[in-house]
């Protein structure tokens, strides 16, 4: 519909705005701008920590920051679809520990080769998700209770798997390479170039499709600004990593997962149905969507990516022990997704919230470490950040609901 | 108005349905012609919803015959009904607030293609715009989320979604409930538009004033039976209210309950 002005919303009885602001507003209409406040938040957090400690924004520390969040990030990619359904999964911390434990035991004690041990660990994650998802969907147990039980049960299973060995050190080359490889500078630049070409190619083909169908398009200027901004971010990120040891493999895996699942959410019917079920399960059912299958699959994705996260963490720390997957990891995944803009109430959010949210959580944690804050203060500050982000989420939802009435 | 001697689009004969000891429908006949708007009215518990659910395949009927386009049909569930070209728009709309208009119109029937079977957004958006334009539904932009639409616009999207898949008959359950005057007007216009396009429309409503404005014929149910058929041109509001409540035709007095 091109003649937008001729069909104003009935409740649009606000006086007309003129000038630059109005033009900007019109140009940005239909664009998703929810990402900007969070980006601003990151800039603010980084500025504060940089002022407090000038090492914070060094290539060394920023690379470390990314290494620290890769495992958490992979798990957050898995929790986002669960939140989109309006559900919770409290088990993924424990599941990540258990799956890493299974991998370590099979590799070190049973002598399995690295790739098979990793696959087995991931398979355990898949099966746990299928089991929990089936209990939640078919027997209609609350996800909260099933995954809370999982939180306890799977950490018990980790202790069982480890037996009387408290810590298993990993020496397998393949497993260690998952998180411990730094690619030479030229690889980083090739990746950056491919990513930039992909960004522009997607935008151009999308625009062509819309023009061909006579649909409204965003202005070329805006598109160009968007493309250049994204490219600048990619170049900056690669430059920073290359300024230190190079692009780390686990960061590549994490961001690769974000991109793959972003495409799934945006472009496949499966992704669309996740949003539909999160918005209104009844409406989805009436549209003959297999709601049960969607929900079980999503719970399985969460635990599968928990396994991937656990394995990356084990690979980075060179060991799996009784405390793997314990502590604040579980809460951090949910906090990261919500901080990144995925609603706890279902139906709203996207995959990039996993990247942005983990960067926020990771930055706060890393910055406080640099400033040598004690754990007590760190826990309290992380808790406050979580409460603030959930508050923003709840207030936004209330406004949205009020507007809908 | 339907031509004389034309076969009905949908014809029900002697539909009976009971839930345990409760006789919800007792030998109900019902018919809709192409390009006709039929109002289905009655008090709470008269059997309107049950009849609609029997037509839309949610409830199996106990006895009776259903003919569609002249041929007897067996309905074993909502999917059979959709295949015939009958769509139902329920009161609670069944839209996803968090999705936009295009996504809702195509929910469950997304157009996909290409190497990875991705959704073809541009084609879906184009067709959605065209369908809404064809029905004269005014939505500011088809990429608007349902949450920011007015009640009338939502109802219009729900109706558009029901008719955009080559439907022949659409059942609307309380389409104007909870709508303001302007919004109601919008939905009634849409109903007349559907009629113009040759669809059969059944409007289930409590609101006689609204129904009067658009229907060609009004069927009154009471206690599971069809108790009368009225034409807006020749019938008065009082007559219909009398039929709904069970008072004598032509009398506005309500029958007195038997003394205890």
> Do B141 and A286 lie within an 8 Å CB cutoff?
no
Say what the pLDDT of residue A1 is: 36
pLDDT band of residue A193 (cuts 50, 70, 90) is: very high
DSSP at A50: H
What angle do the packed helices A173-180 and A291-317 form, to 10 degrees? 100
Which residues, 6+ apart, have CB-to-CB distance to A208 below 8 Å?
none
Residue in this structure with the two tokens 């997607």, named with its chain if needed: A202
Q: Does pLDDT of A97 surpass 70?
A: yes
Say what the pLDDT of residue B5 is: 60
- Please give the Cα distance from B260 to A183 (Å, whole number): 92
Closest CA to B204 of B22, B59, B3, B42: B42
Residue in this structure with the two tokens 């994204």, named with its chain if needed: A230
DSSP at A215: -
Q: Which two tokens stand for residue A297?
A: 């699959």
Strands (E), chain B: 10-19, 22-32, 37-41, 63-68, 71-72, 86-89, 112-113, 118-119, 169-173, 200-204, 217-222, 225-230
Phi (first) and psi of residue B218, to 5 degrees? -130, 130
Q: Does pLDDT of A277 surpass 80?
A: yes
Question: Which residues of chain B are within 8 Å of residue A403 when distances are taken between CB atoms?
Answer: 147-148
Distance from CA of A138 to the nearest CA of B (A): 22
Closest CA to B111 of A213, A83, A207: A213
Say what the pLDDT of residue B38 is: 93
Query: Could you tell me which residues are beta bridge partners of residue B225?
Result: B222
Which residues, 6+ apart, have CB-to-CB distance to A340 below 8 Å?
A38, A76, A349, A352, A353, A354, A355, A356, A357, A358, A360
Q: What is the mean pLDDT of residues A68-74?
A: 96
In contact, A132 and A150? CB cutoff 8 Å:
yes
Question: Which residues of chain A are within 8 Å of residue B143 when distances are taken between CB atoms?
Answer: 30
Domains in chain A (CATH in brackets) are: 34-184+246-404 (1.10.3470)
pLDDT band of residue A274 (cuts 50, 70, 90) is: very high
- Every domain of chain B and the residues it spans: 10-94+166-245
- The per-residue pLDDT for range A99-137, each reduced to its tens digit, is 999 999 999 999 999 999 999 999 999 999 999 999 999
Q: Which two tokens stand for residue A364?
A: 């706060």
In contact, A302 and A89? CB cutoff 8 Å:
yes
* Half-sphere CA count of A293, side-chain side, radius 13 A: 8
* Half-sphere CA count of B255, side-chain side, radius 13 A: 12
For residue A286, the chain B residue with the least C-alpha distance is: B94
What CATH number is given for B10-94+166-245 in this structure? 3.40.50.300
Tell me the CA distances in angstroms from B133 to B137, B141, B149, one per residue in order: 6, 11, 17
- Please give the Cα distance from A252 to B90 (Å, whole number): 48
For A247, the 3-state DSSP assignment is strand
In contact, A346 and A86? CB cutoff 8 Å:
yes
- The per-residue pLDDT for range A354-388, each reduced to its tens digit, is 999 999 999 999 999 999 999 899 889 888 988 98
Residues comprising chain A, all counted = 405
Question: Which residues of chain A are within 8 Å of residue B140 when distances are taken between CB atoms?
Answer: 1, 4, 7-9
- Please give the Cα distance from A35 to A28 (Å, whole number): 13
Say what the pLDDT of residue A403 is: 65
Given a cut of 70, the residues of chain B with pLDDT beneath it are: 1-5, 93, 248-260
- The per-residue pLDDT for range A6-37, each reduced to its tens digit, is 344 444 444 444 567 777 766 666 666 778 88
Q: What is the mean pLDDT of residues A144-168?
A: 94
Say what the pLDDT of residue A103 is: 97
Say what the pLDDT of residue A7 is: 42
Say what the pLDDT of residue A31 is: 66
Distance from CA of A4 to the nearest CA of B (A): 6
Nearest to B150 among A4, A10, A213 (CB): A10
Distance from CA of A346 to the nearest CA of B (A): 9
DSSP at A321: E
Say what the pLDDT of residue B250 is: 46
> Do B126 and A289 lie within an 8 Å CB cutoff?
no
Q: Of A1, A8, A210, A342, which to mutate for an interface test with B (greatest number of B Cβ within 10 Å)?
A: A1
Sheet of B10-19, strands arranged across = B22-32, B10-19, B63-68, B71-72
> Do A287 and B107 lie within an 8 Å CB cutoff?
yes
For A262, the 3-state DSSP assignment is helix
Closest CA to A42 of A355, A375, A384: A355
- Alpha-carbon Rg of chain B, whole angstroms? 19
For A348, the 3-state DSSP assignment is coil
pTM for the full predicted model: 0.88
């Amino acid at each position: 519909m091109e003649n937008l002005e001729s069909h104003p919303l009935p409740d649009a009885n606000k006086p007309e705005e003129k000038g630059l602001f109005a033009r900007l507003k019109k140009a940005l209409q239909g664009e998703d701008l929810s990402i900007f406040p969070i980006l601003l938040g990151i800039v603010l957090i980084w500025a504060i920590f940089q002022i407090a400690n000038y090492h914070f924004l060094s290539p060394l520390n920023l690379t470390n920051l990314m290494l620290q969040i890769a495992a958490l990030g992979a798990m957050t990619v898995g929790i986002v679809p669960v939140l989109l359904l309006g559900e919770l999964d409290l088990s993924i911390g424990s599941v990540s520990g258990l799956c890493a434990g299974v991998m370590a035991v099979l590799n070190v004690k049973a002598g399995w080769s690295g790739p098979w041990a990793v696959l087995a660990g991931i398979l355990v994650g898949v099966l746990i998700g299928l089991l929990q998802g089936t209990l939640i969907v078919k027997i209609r147990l609350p996800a909260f209770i099933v995954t809370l039980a999982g939180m306890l049960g799977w950490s018990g299973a980790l202790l069982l798997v480890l037996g009387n060995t408290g810590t298993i050190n990993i020496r397998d080359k393949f497993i260690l390479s998952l998180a411990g490889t730094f690619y030479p500078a030229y690889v980083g630049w090739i990746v950056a170039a491919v990513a930039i070409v992909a960004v522009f190619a997607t935008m151009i083909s999308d625009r062509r499709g819309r023009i061909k169908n006579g649909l409204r398009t965003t202005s070329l200027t805006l598109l160009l600004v968007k493309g250049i901004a994204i490219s600048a971010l990619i170049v900056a990120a690669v430059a920073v990593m290359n300024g230190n040891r190079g692009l780390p493999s686990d960061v590549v895996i994490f961001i690769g997962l974000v991109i793959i699942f972003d495409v799934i959410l945006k472009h496949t019917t499966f992704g669309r149905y996740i949003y539909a079920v999160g918005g209104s399960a009844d409406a989805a059912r009436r549209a003959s969507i297999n709601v049960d299958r969607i929900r079980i699959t999503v719970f399985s994705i969460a635990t599968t990516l928990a396994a991937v996260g656990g394995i990356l963490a084990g690979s980075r720390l060179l060991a799996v022990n009784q405390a793997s997957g314990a502590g604040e990891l579980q809460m951090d995944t949910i906090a990261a997704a919500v901080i990144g803009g995925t609603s706890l109430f279902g139906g709203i959010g996207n995959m990039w919230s996993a990247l942005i949210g983990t960067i926020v959580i990771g930055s706060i944690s890393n910055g406080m470490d640099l400033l040598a804050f004690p754990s007590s203060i760190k826990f309290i500050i992380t808790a406050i950040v979580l409460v603030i982000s959930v508050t923003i989420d709840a207030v936004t939802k209330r406004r949205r609901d009020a507007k809908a009435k | 108005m339907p031509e004389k001697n034309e076969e009905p689009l949908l014809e029900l004969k002697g539909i009976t349905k009971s839930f345990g000891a409760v006789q919800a429908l007792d030998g109900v006949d019902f018919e809709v012609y192409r390009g006709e708007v039929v109002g289905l009215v009655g008090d709470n518990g008269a059997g309107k919803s049950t009849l609609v659910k029997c037509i839309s395949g949610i409830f199996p009927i106990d006895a009776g015959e259903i003919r569609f386009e002249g041929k007897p049909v067996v309905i074993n569930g909502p999917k059979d009904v959709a295949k015939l070209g009958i769509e139902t728009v329920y009161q609670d709309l069944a839209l996803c607030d968090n999705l936009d208009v295009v996504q809702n119109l195509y929910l469950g029937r997304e157009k996909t293609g290409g190497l990875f079977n991705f959704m073809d957004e541009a084609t879906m958006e184009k067709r959605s715009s065209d369908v809404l334009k064809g029905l004269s539904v005014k939505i500011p932009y088809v990429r608007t989320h349902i949450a920011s639409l007015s009640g009338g616009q939502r109802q219009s999207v729900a109706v558009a979604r029901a008719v955009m898949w080559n439907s022949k008959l659409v059942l609307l359950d309380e389409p104007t409930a909870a709508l303001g005057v302007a919004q109601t007007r919008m939905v009634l216009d849409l109903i007349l538009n559907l009629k113009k396009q040759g669809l059969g429309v059944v409007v289930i409503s409590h609101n006689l004033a609204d129904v009067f404005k658009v229907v060609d014929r009004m069927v009154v149910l009471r206690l599971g039976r069809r108790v009368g058929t009225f034409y807006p041109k020749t019938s008065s509001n009082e007559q219909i209210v009398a039929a709904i409540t069970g008072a004598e035709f032509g009398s506005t007095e309500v029958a007195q309950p038997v003394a205890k």
